[in-house]
Amino acid sequence: MKILVLNAGSSSVKYQLFNMANNEVLASGVIEQIGEKESMAKIKYKKPAGDEQKREEKCSIHDHDAALTWMSEALIQSGVIHNLNDLDAIGHRVVQGGSSFQEPAMVDDYVMSEIERLIPLGPLHNPGHLAGMKVSVHQSPNVPQVAVFDTAFHSTLPNYAYMYAIPYKYYEELRIRRYGFHGTSHYYVTKVAAKYLKQDINTLNAITLHLGNGASVTAIENGQSIDTSMGLTPLEGLIMGTRSGDLDPAILFYLARKRGLTLDELDKMLNKESGLKGICGSNDMREITRMAEEGDERAQLAYDMFNYRLKKYIGSYSAVLGRVDCIVFTGGIGENANDVRLKSCEKLENFGIKIDPILNSVRSSEIRTISADDSKVKVLVIPTNEELEIAIETLEMIQKHHS
Ligand code: ADP
C-alpha cells in the first residue's frame, strides 16, 4: 500500500510518500515559492538498494497545478511509483474543519465546498489546501483522496470549554467558538504514549505540549481532547514564534484608538510580529537560547515569558484533569529544547511532576521518559509525525469506505 500525504499551503506544497506495510517514507519533498519569479522544488527518495538520493531544482512554478505536476514527475523519475495510479490513496492535511468534520472525510464536491465555506475561519490555510486538493483530484481522478482535519481531534471538547463568553448569537450565527488545532499531532503522540506506557488509550489522561513555531497544549481525558489552548484560530494560547497567544482583548481597542491601527494591521501584528519575535526580534528558540546565554536581556525575557505561559497551562490542565498519567513534549522545541522542558516543569512537584535532569539532558530522536522515578506523572518526549498520522487515518478511511 502506497499513500501520498499532501500539505498544500498558499505558496508551498509539502509531500511524503509512505509504504504502509512498514510506515517507511519512500520519498518526500517540498515545492516552495509557488507563483513567485523563482520557485524551489525538492525531492528526497530511497533507491531500491536503500541509499538516499536528493534532487533540488530552481525553476518557475506558477501555480499548484505546476507544483503537483513537478512532484508526480519527480516521483515517477525516481522510480518509487510508475504512474499516479500506483498510489492507493492521497491524504490531504486540512487545518480548519470547523464543526463540519469530526473525522477524516473522502474528498468529493461536497467536502471541497465545505472546506471552501470554512475559509473565513481558516483564511491562512484553507485556500491553499483547497487549491492543492482540486488539482490533485483533477490529476489523479482514479485515486481515492481523503481530507484529514487538524480540528477533528478536538471535536470532543465539551461546550463549556469551547464557548467564549460573548453574546450567544455570535455562536449561533457565525459559529464563533474554540476549534483547536494541531489535532493530528496531539492525537498521534497520545496514541504513541499509550502504547509506550502499555496503557489502554481509552483510560489515558495526558497533557500534550506541541511546541514548534506554532504551539499548543491539549488536555486529554480517557484518550479524548477535552480542552486545548488554540481557539477560533491558531492565535490563542501559548506564546509562539510570531503569535502573541493569550492577551487582554482590550489592548486591541487601545492600540486602534491610540495609534490608529487598522484591523488588518492588528491582525498582522498579532500573527506575524508578536510572540518571541515581538519581544526579542527572533522567533527561533535555538537563537533565543544562545542570545540569552550571551546576556541579551530581551532574549532572556522572551524565553522566561514562553516558559511561564507554558507552566500556567500545565497547571491549569492538571486542575482540569485531576489525574494526569503523563505529560508529553513534542514539536521542534518540545523534542529538542531540554532547558525549556526543565524550566516549564520547575516547582511542579506538588502536581506530581518531577523531571530527572540527567534523563532530560539525553539527546535522542527516540521516544523517552525524562521524569524522575518518584514522579507521579510520567514526563515523556515523543517525536511527532503528523504526516504518518495523516497516512494512517487515510488508510483507515479507505478501508472503511471499501468494506
Ligand atoms: P513548525 O511548527 O514550523 O513545524 P518545528 O516543530 O520544526 O516548527 O519547531 C521549530 C522550533 O523548534 C524553532 O523555534 C526552533 O528553534 C526549535 N528548535 C529546533 N531544534 C532545536 C534545538 N536543538 N534546541 C532548541 N530549539 C530547537
pLDDT number for residue 184: 97
pLDDT digits (tens, 9 = 90+) for 64-110: 999 999 999 999 999 999 999 999 999 999 999 999 999 999 999 99
pTM beyond 0.75, yes or no: yes
pLDDT number for residue 347: 95
Q: Please, which residues have CB within 8 angstroms of residue 247's CB and are 6 or more apart in sequence?
A: 270
Q: Which atom of ligand 1 is closest in space to residue 289's alpha carbon?
A: 25
Secondary structure string (H, E, C) spanning 174-229: HCCCCCCCCHHHHHHHHHHHHHHCCCCHHHCCEEEEEECCCEEEEEEECCEEEEEC
Percent of the chain at pLDDT exceeding 70 = 100
As annotated, the residues of the chain forming the CATH 3.30.420.40 domain(s) are 2-149, 199-386
Residue 139's φ and ψ, nearest 5 degrees, are: -80, -30
Among 48-57, 185-194, 362-371, name the one with the lowest average pLDDT: 48-57
Q: Are 31 and 40 in contact (CB under 8 A)?
A: yes
214 CB under 6 A from ligand 1? yes
pLDDT number for residue 372: 98
CATH number of the 199-386 domain:
3.30.420.40
The answer, yes or no, to whether residue 46 has pLDDT greater than 90, is no
> Which helix (H) or strand (E) covers residue 328, if one does?
strand 326-330
pLDDT digits (tens, 9 = 90+) for 212-245: 999 999 999 999 999 999 999 999 999 999 999 9
Q: Cα 155 to the chain's mean position, in Å?
A: 16
332 CB under 6 A from ligand 1? yes
For 189-199, what is the mean pLDDT? 98
Which residues lie across from 40 on neighbouring strands? 32, 58
From ligand 1's centre to the CA of 331, what distance in Å? 7
Strands 39-46 and 52-59: antiparallel
> Which helix (H) or strand (E) covers residue 111, if one does?
helix 109-117
Closest listed residue to residue 238, CA positions, set 314, 328, 351, 179: 314
383, amino acid identity: P
pLDDT digits (tens, 9 = 90+) for 292-340: 999 999 999 999 999 999 999 999 999 999 999 999 999 999 999 999 9
Nearest alpha carbon, ligand 1 atom 19: 332
Strands 89-94 and 52-59: unpaired
pLDDT digits (tens, 9 = 90+) for 367-394: 999 999 999 999 999 999 999 999 999 9
> Which helix (H) or strand (E) covers residue 320, if one does?
helix 297-321
From ligand 1's centre to the CA of 29, what distance in Å? 19
Q: Are 280 and 298 in contact (CB under 8 A)?
A: yes
Ligand 1: residue of 289, 336, 389 to mutate (most ligand atoms within 8 A of CB) is 336
Give the torsion sign (CA, 282, 287, 288, 290). Answer: negative
Q: State the average pLDDT for the chain.
A: 96
CATH domain 2-149 topology:
Nucleotidyltransferase; domain 5 (3.30.420)
The answer, yes or no, to whether residue 152 has pLDDT greater than 80, is yes
Print burial letters for 326-348: b (CB count within 10 Å at least 16), e (below 16).
bbbbbbbbbbbbbebbbbbbeeb
pLDDT number for residue 110: 97
**Angle (deg, nearest 10), helices 126-139 and 109-117:** 160
Residues 108, 110, 113, CA angle at the centre, nearest 5°?
A: 110
Closest listed residue to residue 356, CA positions, set 381, 331, 384: 381
DSSP assignment letter at 273? S
pLDDT number for residue 323: 98
Question: Within 10 A of 200 (CB to CB), how many other CB atoms are there?
Answer: 10
339 CB under 6 A from ligand 1? no
Q: Please, which residues have CB within 8 angstroms of residue 375's CB and are 6 or more apart in sequence?
A: 352, 353, 354, 355, 356
Q: Please, which residues have CB within 8 angstroms of residue 390's CB and are 6 or more apart in sequence?
A: 5, 91, 92, 93, 148, 184
Closest listed residue to residue 71, CA positions, set 41, 91, 47, 38: 41
The answer, yes or no, to whether residue 183 has pLDDT greater than 90, is yes
61 CB under 6 A from ligand 1? no
The answer, yes or no, to whether residue 45 has pLDDT greater than 90, is yes
Closest listed residue to residue 31, CA positions, set 76, 75, 64, 79: 64
Percent of the chain at pLDDT exceeding 90 = 96
pLDDT number for residue 402: 81
The answer, yes or no, to whether residue 48 has pLDDT greater than 80, is no
Which residues are identified as catalytic?
150
- pLDDT band of residue 261 (cuts 50, 70, 90) is very high
Strands 89-94 and 105-106: unpaired
Q: Are 186 and 206 in contact (CB under 8 A)?
A: no
Edge-to-edge strand ranges of the sheet holding 39-46 = 52-59, 39-46, 24-32, 13-19, 2-8, 89-94, 145-149, 105-106
Task: Report how far residue 176's alpha carbon sits from residue 180's, in angstroms, rounded to the nearest whole number.
Answer: 12
Q: Which atom of ligand 1 is closest in space to residue 283's alpha carbon?
A: 14
Residue 214's φ and ψ, nearest 5 degrees, are: -95, 150
Nearest alpha carbon, ligand 1 atom 3: 213
Task: Report how far residue 51's alpha carbon sits from residue 56's, in angstroms, rounded to the nearest whole number.
Answer: 17
pLDDT number for residue 12: 95
Task: Report how far residue 43's alpha carbon sits from residue 79's, in angstroms, rounded to the nearest whole number.
Answer: 12
Scanning 330-383, the segments in alpha helix (DSSP H) are: 331-336, 338-344, 357-361
